[in-house]
Copies of this chain bind each other. A is one copy, B any other.
Amino acid sequence: MSALPNSAYGQLETLFRRLGAIGEATSILHWDASTMMPAGSSDARGEQLAALNTLSHEMIASRETAELIAASADEATSLDDWQAANLREMRRNWVHATAVDAALVEARTKATMKCEMIWRDARPKSDFAAVLPALTEVVNLAKQSANAKAAKLGLHPYDAMMDQYSPGVRAAVVDKIFAELAAKLPGMIDQTLARQATATPPIEPQGPFPAAAQRAVGTKFMELLGFDFTGGRLDTSAHPFSGGTPDDLRITTRYDEDDFTRGLMGILHETGHALYEKGLPKEWRRQPVGEARGMDVHESQSLLIEMQVCRSPEFLSYATPHLKAAFNGDGPAWTPENLARIYTRVARSLIRVDADEMTYPLHVILRYRLERALISGDLALADLPGAWNDAMRDLIGIAPDSDRTGCLQDIHWYDGAFGYFPSYTLGAMAAAQMFQAAKKADPTILPAIAQGDFKPLYAWLGANVHGYGCRFETPDLITKATGAPLSVAPFLTHLERRYLG
């Protein structure tokens, strides 16, 4: 941050610092809306958030900002590497904010709000026809928006959509990765199901598991991982998430008193997200280069903790006595081996959010294929339910008997989020590849985890991922951290070892 404050770049830093602070305020208000806000206050909260969003948009879309962005091109040689990366991310934010004209932005906001409301009603009724007109409008406007961004970014429209969630990641790479997964996973699933059919069945621990006890042990594990409660909180919400800001982490969960296993893993997953935010470069707070790299890298950090680490025999061997003590557990359910069986069950299922790590990518591939066909026009929206069911049969081997558990299950499309789904599976691939690289770089990581010590792991993640923020484009970040471009090999190796070893 040594650039002259009067340079175009310096003035952009001032602008983006303020935008960053408003973004943080917005994030706390969103958290509050999900955790603390009384039900009757949502209209007022909507006014507050709309005012902040409009202000932010006006600031980034102003003529002054456009002039500064243009002028900053001449200063490139005077910037250091971090500043140059910051400028690159400023431009990206600016293009995404300004490529689409205000009328289209407003039309999209209205159309998605309307569609989401209809969807909330249509889903339980399995009534796809009811939401089809609104969804048609949402898809048309999403396409128009993608076309506008594509023209400015020099990308294909679908790449422009993905760039909003996974900056720098392109469909050509996703195609290759998803093709390999679609070729390999169905066979592995068959093999795994055959094995599990004859193996010792998992024994469910018997509850009740009081919410307070779940919270206490969850908090304990969060602290082990490195979560600092002087800079964050754990609360409950209907839909668990990781929110707040890097210096004020706010994660949420929900407790099922009949089953602690999902809630606990949910806490650990969100802690993975939160510790990524915590590890972002402090000296670049409230600047674009100091932010998390994208939804894909974010998901890699939650999945690394949940799937790679916390469902591992090493962690479960450490965790089991603590869980047993927390819940006064007794009997054969309370062994690391049994908990590992619970935490590594594979099943063909209809619902993505309930899927295990082996079938999950197929749920994502289905959505990726369908949304690309919808956006390109190869698939008519009216044909979506049938195409969904065919794809389920093809990829996972089962099909829903209603759209409620089919193409109506996820909010994303009805909310206008096209290009988002790939980030889940790109994150899973990156998680496996990073964890493999971390263990290779520091062989003490896994033994430490077996002792409940996450410091070696987080030292590696901090130095190789978190501390870089947006210093590199995602593909470069992964290559730099792991020594190779993103590939499916580490993920498949991980599955082989865990399920078929």
| A residues lining the B interface (CB < 8 Å) | 17-18, 21-22, 24-25, 28-29, 32, 36-41, 43-45, 47-52, 54-55, 228-233, 245-248, 285-286
Q: Which listed residue (B25, B38, B50) contacts A232, Cβ 8 A?
A: B38
Indicate if the CB atoms of B36 and A36 lie closer than 8 Å.
yes
Enumerate the 6 nearest inter-chain pairs by beta-carbon distance, A residue then B residue, closest first: A21-B51, A41-B248, A40-B230, A44-B247, A40-B231, A25-B48
| Assembly CA distance A17 to B55 (angstroms) | 12
Indicate if the CB atoms of A47 and B24 lie closer than 8 Å.
yes
Indicate if the CB atoms of A47 and B286 lie closer than 8 Å.
yes
| Assembly CA distance A18 to B58 (angstroms) | 13
| Assembly CA distance A248 to B36 (angstroms) | 10
Residue of B nearest to A18 (CB): B51
| Assembly CA distance A49 to B248 (angstroms) | 14
| Assembly CA distance A29 to B52 (angstroms) | 13
A245-B44 contact given A38-B232, A233-B36, CB 8 Å threshold: yes
A–B pairs, 7, beta carbons within 8 Å: A28-B32, A38-B229, A38-B230, A38-B248, A40-B230, A41-B232, A44-B246
- A40 / chain B contacts, CB cutoff of 8 Å: 228, 230-231, 247
Indicate if the CB atoms of B286 and A39 lie closer than 8 Å.
no
Q: Which of A17, A230, A246, A248 has the most CB of B within 10 A?
A: A248
Q: Which of A37, A38, A40 has the most CB of B within 10 A?
A: A38
- A54 / chain B contacts, CB cutoff of 8 Å: 18
| Assembly CA distance A29 to B25 (angstroms) | 7
Name the distance in Å between A225's Cβ and chain B's nearest Cβ: 16
- A36 / chain B contacts, CB cutoff of 8 Å: 36, 233
| Assembly CA distance A228 to B41 (angstroms) | 11
| Assembly CA distance A50 to B247 (angstroms) | 16
Q: Which listed residue (B21, B45, B232, B233) contacts A48, Cβ 8 A?
A: B21
| Assembly CA distance A228 to B25 (angstroms) | 26
Indicate if the CB atoms of B51 and A28 lie closer than 8 Å.
no
Add 13 more A-B contacts to A18-B51, A38-B232, A40-B228 (CB < 8 A): A17-B51, A18-B54, A22-B51, A22-B55, A25-B29, A25-B51, A38-B248, A40-B231, A41-B231, A41-B232, A41-B245, A44-B248, A55-B55
Residue of B nearest to A23 (CB): B48
- A18 / chain B contacts, CB cutoff of 8 Å: 51, 54-55
Indicate if the CB atoms of A37 and B248 lie closer than 8 Å.
yes
| Assembly CA distance A29 to B24 (angstroms) | 11
- A246 / chain B contacts, CB cutoff of 8 Å: 44
Q: Which of A40, A41, A232 has the most CB of B within 10 A?
A: A41
| Assembly CA distance A350 to B43 (angstroms) | 46
Indicate if the CB atoms of A22 and B231 lie closer than 8 Å.
no
Name the distance in Å between A301's Cβ and chain B's nearest Cβ: 21
Indicate if the CB atoms of A39 and B230 lie closer than 8 Å.
yes
Name the distance in Å between A268's Cβ and chain B's nearest Cβ: 20
Residue of B nearest to A25 (CB): B48
Name the distance in Å between A14's Cβ and chain B's nearest Cβ: 11
Name the distance in Å between A406's Cβ and chain B's nearest Cβ: 35
- A28 / chain B contacts, CB cutoff of 8 Å: 29, 32, 48
| Assembly CA distance A44 to B27 (angstroms) | 12
- A245 / chain B contacts, CB cutoff of 8 Å: 41, 44
Name the distance in Å between A128's Cβ and chain B's nearest Cβ: 33
| Assembly CA distance A25 to B40 (angstroms) | 16
Residue of B nearest to A248 (CB): B41
Indicate if the CB atoms of A247 and B41 lie closer than 8 Å.
yes
Residue of B nearest to A41 (CB): B248
| Assembly CA distance A247 to B229 (angstroms) | 30
Indicate if the CB atoms of A24 and B38 lie closer than 8 Å.
no
| Assembly CA distance A233 to B49 (angstroms) | 20
Indicate if the CB atoms of A38 and B231 lie closer than 8 Å.
yes
Residue of B nearest to A230 (CB): B40
- A48 / chain B contacts, CB cutoff of 8 Å: 21-22, 24-25, 28
Indicate if the CB atoms of A248 and B45 lie closer than 8 Å.
yes
Name the distance in Å between A161's Cβ and chain B's nearest Cβ: 30
| Assembly CA distance A47 to B282 (angstroms) | 14
